[in-house]
Structure formats: structure tokens, C-alpha cells
Amino acid sequence: MSKRPYVLASAAMSLDGRLDDTSDTRLLLSSSADFTRVDRVRGSVDAILVGANTIRADNPRLLSASGPDPVKVTLTSTGNLDPDARFFTTGDAAKLVYAPTPLVPGLTERLPRATVADAGDPFDLHRMLADLAARGIGRLMVEGGERVHTMFFTEDVVDELHLVVAPLFVGDEHAPRFVGPGKYPQGRMLLAEVRQLEDVVLLRYLTGQAAKDHARLREAVALADNCPPSTTFRVGAIVTDADDRVLATGYSGETDPHDHAEEVALAKLGDDPGLATATIYSSLEPCSSRTSRPKSCTRHILEAGIPRIVFAWREPAVFVDCVGAETLRAAGREVIELPELADLVKHTNSHLPGVTAEPTS
């Protein structure tokens, strides 16, 4: 299977599941606090995608005030796009238009501010995603509308969904829905977060590997409850193989007061061949320097050859300035941070100076 970006689908819908009404003006479903959140998510991704019909209906800018503007992406089968639409005229980031092969030369001439990319003939979503990955897009936010969300979900290429429910009805059967009929992946998604933002509710769901990572990391976080009383960090770690089977677990102080969770788990594995395709889950960013022992957990992970590291809480500068995540990334390892679980970890570490946790769900 070809490489594709991490796909985050985002939508705001009414209580009757509509993305908009059928009037000429765009229906604001999000609250002001939610628009601020959406702006932050836009600032955290590499690219943002909407369907050509959303450009025609809303004339969106798709910019971010809170981060670098993401690359803008759209897709069309007709080429019916206005070169003066705000999608093309606002922001400095690149604009990409994916179209079926026969349309590419004509559209390239008509849309001078954009790069028109070949999506195959017929249009191939997987080819488009592979092309985005090849252009360096690691995280793609998909804002809709209905046809686009339907296609991404039925093709099973969504990793995360941010669904906002607004407290109003649209009541028009011609208004666009969040998604239409189709053959969707079976099974339940993982509900990772529920957040109230003024009068709307954000539901954050995860699928596939993203859901597995979240669930395993939660287990690693809970392991830290076994740590003996300590004046340093209380951390839990789990090593899993390529099939998500647990190879080993560890927690701080498990056998000796100086033990770190990751080194305890790794010491149980020796040179297990499964390490070459393993993932290590740690509630805290792996340490990059130590006073009590010669090797940092970052060094242990590098020497064990583990290719994937998932952690929740970036180490705060309580004792040292940690560069574990940067060091592992620089060495070519895949490092995934799930900050939504950081408050749980802070809660277990509230004995440390300056560490306070928000209430957790």
C-alpha cells in the first residue's frame, strides 16, 4: 500500500446532521470558541482540503491565524473553479488542485496561482493521497463538504474525526449532510475526547492505528499508578510488537528506585528480534540525559532499534531540558505525541514542583 498523510476529518453539523442550509450565505454552526479551536487545528496541519463545491458555495480562505498557513488542496472532476476565488487569491501557501488526467493541461492554464496535479483517469483518491505524501504533506485536514467526507470515510482513509454538534435544526432535506449513503468501514470508532465549547460539543474520534495508539498509551499511563512514592517522575511504558501484542511493560522504580519505565521494559526483552518492528509507549517523553545512570532512555531505545515511539507528555524542565523526541526524530524514528493524554500523566506527577493537572475525563 502506498504511503499517505495522516487524515483528520473535521466538520460542524446541526442536530439533524446538516453541514449547511440551502441559503446563499454560509451557515455558522461552530461557536466562536470552536472557530478558534478550528483555527488552531488548521495551524497544526500541513494541508487543508475542501471539495470544489465548498469553494463555489462558501468562497473560503482556509487560512490560520495561529500557525503557518497550511497548503490548500481541492479536487474537481469538472474543472469548474473560479481563478479569482479566495482559495487561490489569499495566503502565501501553495494551492493544489487535483483533477482527472484529461483536465490537467487546460486547468493548468486557467489556474495560474495553483499547481494542478494529475489524479489519474478516472480520478483516484489513493493516488492523490500518495502524491500529497510525496510532496511532504504528513498531516491533512479534510473540512468537507458532504461528498468529500463521504468519499474519505467510505474509502477508509480517515484516522481522526473532529465532529462538532451545534444546537440547532436545519430541517431542509436538500441541505448537505455530514455524510451521505455509502459502504462505510464496519466497527466502532474510539471516542477519544468530548469537549464543550460554549454551546457546541466537540466529539473527537480515532480509527485504526490512531485508535490503537491512544488505547495502548492510556494503559501505559495507568501503569504509572504502580510506581512507589518518589520525588522524581512516575512513568509507565509498554512495548508492543508489529501485531500490537504486548512484549513487555515497565514503570519507574519497578525494581530499584533509579529505574526508568522504558529501561525496565527494555531490560526484560534483551535483543528480542521483535524490537525491530516494535512500538514503545511511554507516558512521558523518553529522557535524553541522566545523572543516576550512564544511559538515557532515548539511548536505550536507539540501541534497541525500536522504530516507533508514542508518548503523552513532553518532559517539562523540572530537572533538565529534555530533547528525547527531537533526538529520536533526528535518528529517523517515528515519534508520535498524543498530548490529549498529558493531563492524566500530570495528575500522576502532581507531587513534582510546578506540575498541576486540569481535571481529566
Ligand X SMILES: NC(=O)C1=CN([C@@H]2O[C@H](COP(=O)(O)OP(=O)(O)OC[C@H]3O[C@@H](n4cnc5c(N)ncnc54)[C@H](OP(=O)(O)O)[C@@H]3O)[C@@H](O)[C@H]2O)C=CC1
Ligand Y SMILES: Nc1c(N[C@@H]2O[C@H](COP(=O)(O)O)[C@@H](O)[C@H]2O)[nH]c(=O)[nH]c1=O
Determine the distance from the C-alpha atom of residue 140 to the mean position of all C-alpha atoms in its chain, rounded to a whole number: 9
Q: Which is nearer to ligand X, 57 or 222 (CB)?
A: 57
Residue among 31, 53, 283, 348 that touches ligand X (CB under 6 A) = 53
If the CB atoms of residues 54 and 76 are measured against ligand Y, the closer one turns out to be: 54
- Burial per residue of 312-346, b for 16 or more beta-carbon CB atoms within 10 angstroms, e otherwise: bbebbeeeeebbbbebbeeeebebbebebbbbbbb
Distance of closest approach, residue 211 Cβ to ligand Y, in angstroms? 23
Which residues are paired to 279 by β-bridges?
240, 308
3-state secondary structure 261-320: HHHHHHHCCCCCHHHHHCEEEEEECCCCCCCCCCCCHHHHHHHHCCCEEEEEECCCCCCC
What character string, x for contact with ligand X (CB under 6 A) and - otherwise, covers 155-194? ---------------------x------------------
> CB of residue 146 vs ligand Y: minimum separation in angstroms?
11
Tell me: does residue 41 bind ligand X (CB under 6 A). no
Cell numbers placing 307: 522504530
* Cβ neighbour number for residue 17 with a 10 Å cutoff: 16
Count of residues near ligand X by CB under 6 A: 27
Among positions 5, 51, 70, 316, the unique one binding ligand X when judged by CB under 6 A: 51
Q: Which lies closer to ligand X via its Cβ, residue 147 or residue 195?
A: 147
Q: Which of 78, 289 has the CB closer to ligand X?
A: 78
Report how far residue 246's alpha carbon sits from residue 204's, in angstroms, rounded to the nearest whole number: 26
CA distances 291 to 67, 266, 283, 299, 353, Å, are 37, 19, 21, 14, 19
- What gap in Å lies between CA 150 and CA 184, rounded to an integer? 9
**Which residue in 9, 45, 47, 52 binds ligand X (CB under 6 A)?**
52
Residue 22 CB, shortest distance to ligand Y, in Å, is 14
Q: Residue 21 CB, nearest distance to ligand Y (Å)? A: 10
41 vs 221, beta carbon nearer ligand Y: 41
Residues 69-128 that bind ligand X (CB under 6 A): 75-78, 80, 123
347's grid cell: 495528575
Label residue 47 exposed, middle or buried (CB < 10 Å: 0-12, 13-18, 19+).
Answer: buried
CA 102 to centroid of chain Cα atoms: 34
Q: Which residues are near ligand Y by CB under 6 A?
A: 12, 26-30, 38, 50, 54, 58, 60-63, 143-144
* Per CB under 6 A, 140 contacts ligand X: no
Near ligand X in 4-23, by CB under 6 A:
11-12, 19-20
| Binding partner of 176, given ligand Y, ligand X, none, CB within 5-8 angstroms per partner class | ligand X
Nearer to ligand X, 170 or 287 (CB): 170
What is the enclosing helix (H) or strand (E) of 126? helix 125-134
Give contact residues for ligand X (rule: CB under 6 A). Answer: 11-12, 19-20, 26, 29, 50-54, 57-58, 75-78, 80, 123, 143-148, 151, 176
